[in-house]
Homo-oligomer: A and B are copies of this chain.
Amino acid sequence: MPQNRLFYNHFVLPESQRDLLNVVLVSPRNPLNIGAAARAMANFGLRRLSVVAPFDPTWREARSAIGAPELLQNAKSTECLAEAVASCTLVVGTGTQTYRKPEQRVVPLPELAPIVSRELTRGGRIALVFGSEKHGLTREDLSYCHILVEIPTDPQQPSMNLGQAVAVCLYELTRRAESAPATPISSITSAPLSGRLDLLAGVIEEAMQAVGYSPRAMHPANRHDLRLMLRRLSLSAHDTRRILGLFRRILWRINHLER
């Protein structure tokens, strides 16, 4: 290890936070990009990588690359984004170069750091989600995100290479952690897990259908809107439990009356 790196003290992501900031790559096409993302994670002290629906040969090639960091060996592969972020309390989508108007708040990367820092400090688990090289995140992917982040780039050439985008984001997010006081992992976050919000959305949707809230053709749009709304509302775990209880009771009552 080199002797004279004077600024290690600038890198102070506390041990307790290293497993709480996850990187999620959705359908990456290029094994080199997966490797580059993993290397940037190792450079900035992170360990948890998930890859959603990878193209099989790509995934095999990335993991078998010479010198692949250990975290790549331990990376999880999931079928869908919902599964990858199910245990997270804050899901951040990257790259907003879409043709549609985003429904969530969009922040420039420099302003994301304090938001992430606050969430980590209170023990939350964060997913930083990157779309595929070609298309970025889909509308469906975006509906799982609480917030979107954008790297300020030249309007003439806004689209960054995946591995470089990961490196820039992690540089920004870990170097700010220096001001955040280290907190024990035991500190309990009050934000609900993403999977829990999906459960709630499912029960509300069932109630909507039971009462004939809208025509069948509208169901997919309703589901999409509902998922986004539940994330935007910043519900506490307690709120989530209460609303879930209310809608379960509504369903029970309607089933009882219909019998």
List residues of chain A with CB under 8 Å of any chain B CB.
1-8, 10-11, 13, 32, 36, 39-40, 42-45, 69, 96-111, 150-161, 163-165, 167-168, 171-172, 174-175, 177-178, 182, 184-187, 204, 207-208, 210-213, 225, 229, 232-235, 239, 242, 245-246, 249-250, 252-254, 257-258
Contact = CB atoms under 8 A, between A and B. Distances in A.
A145 to B, nearest CB: 12
Contact of A154 (B42, B104, B245): B42
25 contacts: A1-B155, A2-B99, A4-B98, A5-B97, A5-B150, A6-B96, A7-B152, A8-B155, A10-B108, A11-B154, A11-B155, A36-B161, A44-B154, A103-B186, A107-B182, A109-B175, A163-B163, A164-B167, A168-B171, A204-B246, A208-B249, A211-B246, A211-B253, A212-B249, A233-B239
B253 A108 contact: no
A135 to B, nearest CB: 12
B157 A7 contact: no
Contacts of A185: 101-102, 106
- Residue among A7, A44, A174 facing the most chain B CB atoms (10 A cut-off): A7
A6 B211 contact: no
A24 to B, nearest CB: 19
Nearest to A258: B257
A106 B229 CA distance: 25
Contacts of A253: 210-212, 254
Nearest to A8: B155
Contacts of A11: 152-155
A4 to B, nearest CB: 6
Contacts of A102: 4, 185-186
A32 to B, nearest CB: 7
Contacts of A40: 160-161, 164
